[in-house]
Amino acid sequence: MSGADLTQFLDYTLIAMLLAVGFAIVRLRNLFAVVMLTGVYSLLSAAWFVSLDAVDVAFTEAAVGAGISTVLMLGAMLLTAREAEAPGRGRHLAAMLVVTVAGMALFFAIPDMPVYGAADSPANDYVGHSYLERTPNEIEIPNVVTAVLASYRGYDTFGEVVVIFTAALGVILLLGFNTGGARRREDEE
Amino acid sequence: MSPHIILRVVSKLLIPMIVIFGFYVQFHGDFGPGGGFQAGVIIAVAVILYALIFGIDEAKKAVPPKVVLWGSAAGVLLYAAVGLATLVMPFAGEAVNFLDYDALHPDQSHHAGQHYGILLVELGVLITVISVMLAIFYAFAGRVPDIPDEEW
């Protein structure tokens, strides 16, 4: 990362915007604005992931974080009040203490982190290189992420799909959507 | 519903494009970013947008809850079926492995089996993700009163 690399300033800008949105979320008491700002936060993180060349992660963050979660949070918000009450002063101090300790621990850990983009970082070191080398010969598709996800790690992805299916199963068993909503509305009328 | 004419017209224009973009993400996943998970969420968002603008009952007419229920299981079963097919297909080498797609097609030199396998399991992921997202949305939205007009 030499001084000529201008994209790092884009990263700084995006992180500063993330911080600003984070502070706004903490300060605001209007839940509608908070839900919208969490969507903005996800979209900014997605932009930042693009800048870090993690386009697949960025795509997922934009679709799930900024899309579906915002809608589900809006649905949850309609069930509750529009304004949140301000927490008491004692809880402020306790939260400040936790944040300070955790923040100091994170800063303490920074020197141990691998340099950004290092080829020998633990994330790349073990099977990463081998996937990159073998995908053109063994799978012959350009996107290595898809090759790892669907082929090399097909078994894990199968597990993920089962997890998603189980999530829906749990929600349907708890809430039910075939008749429950209609019956509830009739009760109210 | 008549006051929201701009929302209704714009969303009617946007929904087909959102769905087409979802399918692009799905079938372009081998070449660029994307795949079943992202495409499924995008297509589900198109239906949810429809439900937000035209009402949950209209959306349930377009995509019935029964389809959603069956779909969320069908995707998982399609994925598992591809895995079982790799165990019984005749083109496998010496090692027979669950979800080893080379067994799906005799053309080993171009790895056509891998391409078919990835296409099919991504399709399974797509079906499950669309259905699950809609199932969760239907389950929650069925309990929430429609958004009052003054909050638009």
Q: Is the CB of B18 inside 8 Å of chain A's CB atoms?
A: no
Alpha-carbon torsion, ordered B100, B106, B110, B111, to 10 deg: -10
Provide, as residue numbers in chain B, all residues whose Cβ is less than 8 Å from the Cβ of A147. 118
Angle at A155 (CA atoms; ends A66, B132), nearest 5 degrees: 40
At B93, is the pLDDT very low, low, confident or very high (cuts 50, 70, 90)?
A: low
- Return the higher-pLDDT residue of B141 and A33: A33
DSSP secondary structure string, chain A? --TT-THHHHHHHHHHHHHHHHHHHHH--BHHHHHHHHHHHHHHHHHHHHHTT-HHHHHHIIIIIIIIHHHHHHHHHHTS-SBPPPPPHHHHHHHHHHHHHHHHHHHHHGGGSPPTT-TTSHHHHTTHHHHHHHHHHHT--S-HHHIIIIIITHHHHHHHHHHHHHHHHHHHHHH--SSHHHHHHHHH-
Measured distance CA(B87)–CA(A149) in Å, rounded: 20
Domain count, chain A: 1
Half-sphere exposure of A188 (CA within 13 A, CB side): 9
Summarised one tens digit per residue, pLDDT across range A126-174 is: 787 888 888 888 888 888 888 888 888 888 999 999 999 999 999 888 8
Measured distance CA(A26)–CA(A127) in Å, rounded: 40
Q: Is B29 helix (H, G, I), strand (E, B) or coil?
A: coil
- The answer as to whether A133 is a domain residue is no
- The answer as to whether A31 is a domain residue is yes
Span of A60-74, A80-94, B90-104, B106-120 with lowest mean pLDDT: B90-104
- Per-residue pLDDT, B18: 93
- Per-residue pLDDT, A149: 85
CATH code, A56: 1.20.120.1200
- Per-residue pLDDT, B94: 63
- Return the higher-pLDDT residue of B151 and B82: B82
Provide, as residue numbers in chain A, all residues whose Cβ is less than 8 Å from the Cβ of B37. 60
Q: Is B135 within 8 Å of A162 when comparing Cβ atoms?
A: no
Q: Is B65 helix (H, G, I), strand (E, B) or coil?
A: helix
Spatial neighbors of A54 by CB under 8 A, at least 6 apart, are none
Domain membership of residue A12 as a residue range: 1-86
- Determine the residue of chain B that is closest to A167 in CA distance: B132
- The answer as to whether A1 is a domain residue is yes
- Per-residue pLDDT, A189: 47
- Per-residue pLDDT, B39: 92
- Per-residue pLDDT, A1: 46
Residue A22's alpha-carbon distances to A35, A41, A71, A83, A104, in angstroms, are 12, 7, 19, 18, 19
- Look at residue B17 and tell me whether its pLDDT is greater than 50: yes
Structure token digits, residue B105: 């097609």
Summarised one tens digit per residue, pLDDT across range A39-74 is: 999 999 999 999 888 888 898 898 888 888 888 888
- Determine the residue of chain A that is closest to B134 in CA distance: A168
- Look at residue A104 and tell me whether its pLDDT is greater than 70: yes
- Per-residue pLDDT, A180: 47
Looking at chain A from residue 9 to 28, which residues have their Cβ under 8 Å from any Cβ of chain B?
Answer: none
- The answer as to whether A175 is a domain residue is no
- The answer as to whether A149 is a domain residue is no
Q: How far apart are the CA of B102 and the nearest CA of chain A, in angstroms? A: 9
What proportion of chain B, given as a percentage, has pLDDT over 90?
40
Q: Is A177 within 8 Å of B139 when comparing Cβ atoms?
A: yes
Looking at chain A from residue 28 to 47, which residues have their Cβ under 8 Å from any Cβ of chain B?
Answer: 32
Provide, as residue numbers in chain B, all residues whose Cβ is less than 8 Å from the Cβ of A169. 72
Average pLDDT for chain B: 85
Q: Is the CB of A146 inside 8 Å of chain B's CB atoms?
A: yes
- The answer as to whether A147 is a domain residue is no
- Per-residue pLDDT, A181: 47
Which one, of B119, B118, B94, B90, lies nearest residue B105 by Cα?
A: B90
- The answer as to whether A169 is a domain residue is no
